[in-house]
């Protein structure tokens, strides 16, 4: 039997084709497409009790999730006990025994890892690019399909035992992996087999647009800034056609490579079925980018593709003002009240924008 970690996981299990790490229900239910399909994963069953090993099965059109218990070196779900999880899976598939008498569920086919589910040992981290409350973003080399690519890897700090944290990380990755567009940052995959969780994206070498504009914006000509605006518009149009409200369009969430813009950071994004659909915020206490929000969002906590377009307008202002702070000189509370009352920032004078930017700093 292979050496195990503190959760009873062995290297043999982590390499098993049907083991999917901390992938949440929202993802695994898309993978279990037929009765008898199964996979093994990790999840927090009760808050504060840490991760448990779960056998997820589709049977009679329903999804069942069985906790695999681990006591005295033995693994079991009901009465049959085994030396390893692999032995348990092998027994139930070969003997065609139901997992529990109540459900009668059989396991027939172990769903393999998807191309976007990466192993941690595929990722070799390099220098730290940026830090945030989530952790850090690193340059990295990633082995994908027998080739090595340069990537940017978001590494989430601490132990990812919180089900909501895992759900949010995988939700962002689930949204990103649907997209393929020159003005949208590409997702290579996620590594969720163990801590820390990693989100692996294409490396965009010139970094965040706001930092780029602070350093180089004053030397960019108007036509170059217009092209940046068009790039962002193209990316946002694509997202809306794909049924995505980004909810955080801003210079800090755009990346630059060879003067081309790519929209990134889908942590707040929400998918919709049509462009008239609205997304209503339920947690009114969460931190929001007030300076970029549309008046209807500030008044009703409602997001639409149109509210994204308002935020895009603030992004245009940032581009021509070299990433100056929107509503400079106002507090967050003042911005909130002024925008709801109809105030709008004056359009920048393109001829003097860079001079004005220097005066603000």
User: Given this structure, which CATH class describes domain 120-202?
Assistant: alpha beta
Whole-number pLDDT of residue 355: 43
Counting Cβ atoms within 10 Å, is residue 163 exposed (0-12), middle (13-18) or buried (19+)? middle
Whole-number pLDDT of residue 6: 43
Compute the average pLDDT of residues 326-347: 96
CA angle 129, 311, 223 (to 5 degrees): 75
CATH domain 11-110 topology: SHC Adaptor Protein (3.30.505)
* Known catalytic residue at 248: yes
User: What residues are paired with 187 via a beta bridge?
Assistant: 201
For 234, the enclosing helix (H) or strand (E) is helix 222-241
Per DSSP, the residues of 125-169 read EEEEEEEETTEEEEEEEEEETTEEEEEEEEEE-S----HHHHHHH
pLDDT in tens, 86-105: 999 999 999 999 999 999 99
Whole-number pLDDT of residue 9: 59
Computed over every residue of the chain, the mean pLDDT equals: 90
User: What residues are paired with 124 via a beta bridge?
Assistant: 141
Which phi-psi region, left, alpha or beta, contains residue 242 (left: φ > 0; alpha: ψ -120 to 50)?
alpha
Determine the 3-state secondary structure of 4 from DSSP.
strand
CATH domain 209-360 topology: Transferase(Phosphotransferase); domain 1 (1.10.510)
Cβ atoms 99, 105 nearer than 8 A: yes
Residue 335 clears pLDDT 90, i.e. is over it:
yes
95 Cβ neighbours under 8 A, 6+ residues apart: none
Query: Around Cβ 226, how many Cβ atoms within 10 Å?
Result: 15
pLDDT in tens, 46-92: 877 788 999 999 999 999 999 999 999 999 999 899 999 999 999 99
Counting Cβ atoms within 10 Å, is residue 177 exposed (0-12), middle (13-18) or buried (19+)? middle
Compute the average pLDDT of residues 286-299: 94
Using pLDDT thresholds of 50, 70 and 90, give the confidence band for residue 118: very high
Cα(59)–Cα(355) distance, integer angstroms: 66
Higher pLDDT, 285 or 178: 178
Whole-number pLDDT of residue 350: 65
What strand order describes the sheet that includes 109-110? 81-82, 74-76, 62-71, 51-59, 37-44, 109-110
Using pLDDT thresholds of 50, 70 and 90, give the confidence band for residue 44: confident
Residue 190 clears pLDDT 80, i.e. is over it:
yes
Counting Cβ atoms within 10 Å, is residue 192 exposed (0-12), middle (13-18) or buried (19+)? buried
Give the rounded distance of the alpha carbon of 263 from its chain centre. 13
Q: In the chain, where are the structural domains located?
A: 11-110, 120-202, 209-360
Cα(171)–Cα(175) distance, integer angstroms: 6
Catalytic residue among 27, 195, 231, 248: 248
pLDDT in tens, 119-171: 999 999 999 998 876 789 999 999 998 899 999 999 987 655 577 788 888 99
Whole-number pLDDT of residue 76: 97
């Amino acid at each position: 039997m292979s050496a195990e970690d503190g959760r009873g996981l062995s290297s043999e299990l982590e390499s098993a084709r049907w083991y999917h790490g901390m992938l949440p229900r929202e993802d695994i239910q898309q993978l279990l497409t037929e009765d008898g399909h199964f996979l093994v994963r990790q999840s927090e069953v009760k808050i504060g009790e840490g991760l448990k090993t779960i056998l997820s099965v589709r049977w009679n059109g329903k999804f069942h999730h069985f906790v695999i218990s681990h006591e005295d070196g033995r693994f079991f779900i009901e009465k049959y006990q085994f030396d390893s999880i692999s032995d348990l899976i092998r027994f139930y598939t070969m003997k065609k025994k139901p997992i529990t008498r109540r459900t009668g569920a059989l396991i027939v086919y172990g769903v393999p890892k998807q191309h976007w589910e990466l192993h941690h040992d595929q990722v070799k981290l390099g220098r730290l690019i940026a830090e945030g409350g989530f952790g850090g973003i690193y340059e990295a080399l990633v082995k994908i399909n027998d080739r090595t690519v340069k990537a940017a890897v978001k590494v989430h700090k601490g132990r990812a035992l919180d089900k909501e944290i895992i759900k949010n990380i995988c939700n962002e990755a689930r949204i990103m992996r649907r997209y393929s567009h020159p003005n949208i940052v590409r997702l290579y995959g996620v590594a969720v087999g163990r801590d820390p969780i990693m989100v692996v994206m294409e490396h965009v070498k010139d970094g965040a647009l706001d930092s780029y504009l602070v350093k180089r914006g004053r030397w960019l000509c108007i036509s170059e800034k217009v092209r940046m605006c068009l790039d962002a518009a193209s990316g946002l149009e694509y997202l809306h056609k794909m049924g995505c409200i980004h909810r955080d369009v801003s210079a800090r969430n755009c990346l630059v490579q060879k003067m081309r813009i790519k929209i990134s950071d889908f942590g707040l994004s929400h998918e919709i079925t049509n462009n008239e659909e609205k997304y209503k915020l339920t947690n009114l206490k969460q931190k929001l980018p007030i300076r970029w929000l549309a008046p209807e969002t500030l008044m009703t906590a409602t997001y639409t593709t149109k509210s994204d377009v308002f935020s895009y307008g603030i992004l245009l202002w940032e581009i021509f003002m070299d990433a100056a702070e929107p509503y400079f000189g106002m507090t967050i509370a003042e911005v909130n009240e002024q925008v709801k009352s109809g105030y709008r920032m004056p359009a920048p004078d393109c001829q003097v924008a860079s001079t004005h930017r220097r005066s603000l700093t």
